[in-house]
Amino acid sequence: MEKLVVHGGASLSGSVNISGSKNAALPILAATLLTREKCVIRRVPDVSDTNYMLQILQNLGAEVERASGTVTVKAEKLNGAEAPYDLVRKMRASICVMGPLLARMKEANVSLPGGCVIGDRPVDLHLRGLEGLGAEVHVEGGNIVVKAGKGLRGDEIDMRGKHGTTVLGTDNVMMAAVLAKGTTVIEGAACEPEVIDLANFLNKMGARISGAGTSRIEIVGVKELGGVEHTVIPDRIEAGTFLVAGAMAAKDKITLKRVEPDHLTSLLDVLEECGYPVERHGKTLTIGKAKNPLGANLTTEPYPYFPTDMQAQMCALFATTPGISVVKDTIFPQRFMHCSEMKRMGADIDMDDGTAVIRGVEKLSAAPVMASDLRASAALVLAALTAKGNTEIHRVYHIDRGYENIDDKLIGLGAEIERLQE
């Protein structure tokens, strides 16, 4: 296993290229199962999550090639419809092969993904949606078995749950519906940019999807889909993470290239309200030091509101911002592992049932800390950039799941970071 040693006192400058979106790439890679023809997908980030997905596709019989950021998949012949536990347990998002497998093979056998450190990760909405298309669903021995011997048929599907919309649930139902007989309407669909990117990919394949990006998506079923070429959208969460790095540690300002600022408006609004000068020029964003940084009260909600995947990074920023900030996560109320680790570094944070009350301190101090979920781990790297001393962050594999060379990119901005064997 590896650890990162992050030297405090970073003073960042220059520019960084943002990678393609992990959360757009994963369902798009799953969607290649819907055609026998070759699909070429560009800007697929080389992170362990996308590599796990490629293993699952290969395990199903697809031919897969990766040449730096470009992935080629040809699922001409599939040797089964099973996503095994040993792969699914490593990456919960593997659940999004269920919809395409059901559409292509009329059955799917996917291990129940189980929970993870950010909390329970139920799939009831996925299953309700697929049942709505005529699938028979049952769970046996920790596996979800879905069957549609006579094929799927379009219907009105309500995907709303007690925590609001589901991103991968919307993806699964959309991918199942594209080959169903008749028209499907998804009410309460997730509106994330990654859902729009998947819909665009499917439409290029010959699907007939309208309304992606709104809470009502209509899918007119077609007979078959063809191979395509597609470039994945930029990763808005990686971009947000680097914006917070700039807010915390820019000497003057830093520049992010190859981003989509329209996908970041809720974060940009908050950073500007907190006093950080943000400028956008086309696909480039710059962020500078705040003359008088302010804290904020934040609540995470489904897109287009403040994203849960940026909650941990904002806690790192607020830990050394004067005043009191309150951060509430309504989507994953347990997603605060980063706070207990930052308290080891001297952060003043009180936790109360899905809400962190953060009192800014002058400076954090280095301490050995443990990475846990992907975004909590990134938050610890951010906290370490401006801490006193050198912080050791253990279990770096958590960060490598969703950030492509985060240490090299930060070093390129002037940070001092070593990646060492534990």
Contact residue for ligand EPZ among 7, 36, 147, 163 (CB under 6 A): 163
Find the shortest distance in angstroms from Cβ 413 to ligand EPZ: 22
Site for ligand EPZ in 52-71 (CB under 6 A): none
For the chain, give the number of residues.
422
Nearer to ligand EPZ, 166 or 184 (CB): 166
Nearer to ligand EPZ, 295 or 307 (CB): 307
Nearer to ligand EPZ, 177 or 190 (CB): 190
Find the shortest distance in angstroms from Cβ 70 to ligand EPZ: 20
Spell out, one character per residue from 335 to 374, where the chain touches ligand EPZ: x when CB under 6 A holds, - when not.
---------------------------------------x
Q: Known catalytic residue: 274?
A: no
Q: Is 161 in the site for ligand EPZ (CB under 6 A)?
A: yes
Spell out, one character per residue from 267 to 306, where the chain touches ligand EPZ: x when CB under 6 A holds, - when not.
----------------------------------------
Contact residue for ligand EPZ among 99, 100, 132, 169 (CB under 6 A): 169
Q: What is the DSSP string of 264-316?
A: GHHHHHHHHHTT--EEEETTEEEEE--SS----EEEE-STTS--GGGHHHHHH
Buried b or exposed e, range 26-59, using 16+ CB within 10 angstroms: bbbbbbbbbbebbbbbebbbebbbbbbbbbbbeb
Question: Which stretch, 116-124, 145-153, 217-225, 409-417, contacts ligand EPZ (CB under 6 A)?
Answer: 116-124
Spell out, one character per residue from 9 to 48, where the chain touches ligand EPZ: x when CB under 6 A holds, - when not.
--------------x--x----------------------
Contact residue for ligand EPZ among 93, 144, 413, 417 (CB under 6 A): 93
DSSP 375: H
Question: Which stretch, 132-140, 163-171, 388-396, 405-413, contacts ligand EPZ (CB under 6 A)?
Answer: 163-171
Find the shortest distance in angstroms from Cβ 142 to ligand EPZ: 17
3-state secondary structure of 330: coil
Nearer to ligand EPZ, 287 or 374 (CB): 374
219's tokens = 């899918």
Q: Is 168 in the site for ligand EPZ (CB under 6 A)?
A: yes
Among the listed residues 10, 40, 16, the one whose alpha carbon sits nearest the alpha carbon of residue 285: 16
Terminal-to-terminal C-alpha distance of the chain: 6
Nearer to ligand EPZ, 123 or 254 (CB): 123
- Residue 234: exposed, middle, or buried by beta-carbon count in 10 A (0-12, 13-18, 19+)? buried
Buried b or exposed e, range 159-196, using 16+ CB within 10 angstroms: beeebebbbbbbbbbbbbbbbbeeebbbebbbbbbbbb
Question: Which stretch, 74-82, 119-127, 202-210, 408-416, contacts ligand EPZ (CB under 6 A)?
Answer: 119-127
C-alpha span between 67 and 58 (Å, rounded): 16
221's tokens = 């079923």
Q: What is the DSSP string of 143-197?
A: EEEEE-TT--B--EEE--BTTB--HHHHHHHHHHHTTSBSEEEEES----HHHHH
The catalytically annotated residue of 116, 274, 315, 339 is: 116
Nearer to ligand EPZ, 61 or 161 (CB): 161
Q: What are the start-end ranges of the E strands in 24-92? A: 38-42, 63-67, 70-74, 82-83
Q: Is 264 in the site for ligand EPZ (CB under 6 A)?
A: no
Contact residue for ligand EPZ among 32, 111, 166, 377 (CB under 6 A): 166
Contact residue for ligand EPZ among 318, 402, 410, 417 (CB under 6 A): 402
Let me know: does 398 contact 377? Beta carbons within 8 Å: yes
Let me know: does 370 contact 341? Beta carbons within 8 Å: yes
Whose structure tokens read 């520019």?
15
- Residue 107: exposed, middle, or buried by beta-carbon count in 10 A (0-12, 13-18, 19+)? middle
Binding stretches for ligand EPZ (CB under 6 A): 23, 26, 93, 121-126, 161, 163, 166-169, 190, 194, 308-309, 331-332, 374-375, 402
Q: Which residues are catalytic?
A: 116
